[in-house]
A and B are shown apart, each in its own frame.
Chain A
Amino acid sequence: MYQLRTYRSFVSYIDRSREYYAAQDYVKPYEWPHYDGVPFTPLKKQLTECRVGLVTTAGKPKPPGVVAAMLTQRELYAEPANPPPQRLFTDDLSWDKKATHTEDVDSFMPVNRLSEYAAAGRIGSASARFYGVPTDYSQGRTLERYAPQILEWCREDGLDAVLLSAL
């Protein structure tokens, strides 16, 4: 389909969320991280020999009936990828709850799809665990606490590459 447009097609979530929270009378807009330089690590071996892992922003499944205050507790975790999780907790995250749903874990963390690629020999293997990282208002906590722990788990599990998906 060809069209002429006077506007950008992609939603700018930086613009949209700033205007949304301003309408809620939050005075100070959220400041998003911006870097000029970007680190880059090429694969060190053939993909068919690599072990690949997954990181999600979704939380571990919660038992029903947990009080509202408990629901706000987001945690850093590593969980077995086999058997794959049937559900993950996403109610407390900001995603488009009117347009879609998160009942299929592979729509936001491709745990089954990755194992299929391992079985087919496209990658060496899929990690035995996947990792959950909380989305945090504090960039300091993400950089000083969460990221080093995720790296440590990646090393423990012998990973060569990681797919990270944020809801």
Chain B
Amino acid sequence: MSLVARYLEENGMSTVIMGSARDIVEECGVARLIFTDFPLGNPCGKPWDVVMQRSIVGMALDLLERAWMPRTTIQTPFRWDNDAWRENFMRVDESNREALAREGNVRRQFQADMKKGR
């Protein structure tokens, strides 16, 4: 998505990225980012929370007007209900290491079979 935003900016279109994967977007480098520190899936606000969503979109619109240079990141003030997701997402530890290795093998076999048209 960052690559698309960069392309639009290069061609005269103003953009704001609304996202929760701050490192990926900032490593790529975009004009404007509204960062909400939530689990991936709801970068524009919690589901059904109209007030929060309106606030986040409002900040994106403010940023369109006010940013004067690229790589401007605004972090919204919202927090998720708890922090458990930070450790749990894509977690690798001794409890799942073998299962993950097996999953990788199954996926590679599936992809190889698809390529052969089986």
Contacts and interface: CB of A to CB of B under 8 A. Distances in A.
Pair from one complex: yes
Interface of A: 9-17, 19-21, 23-26, 32-44, 47, 50, 52, 55, 57, 69, 90, 94-104, 106-110, 113-114, 116-117, 122-123, 133, 135, 139, 142-143, 146-148, 150-151, 154, 159-167
Contacts of B64: 43, 47, 50, 52, 161
Given A10-B22, A94-B40, A41 B27 contact: no
Nearest to B24: A13
Nearest to B87: A11
A108 B43 contact: yes
Sort chain B's interface into a size bin: 35 or more
Contacts of A52: 61, 64
B59 to A, nearest CB: 11
Given A11-B86, A39-B70, A116 B7 contact: no
A109 B4 contact: no
A96 B85 contact: yes
A151 B12 CA distance: 10
B13 A161 contact: yes
A17 B16 CA distance: 25
A163 B16 contact: yes
B42 A162 contact: no
A40 B44 contact: no
16 contacts: A10-B37, A13-B23, A23-B100, A23-B101, A24-B100, A39-B10, A94-B40, A98-B85, A107-B44, A107-B48, A110-B18, A147-B4, A150-B8, A160-B14, A161-B14, A163-B57
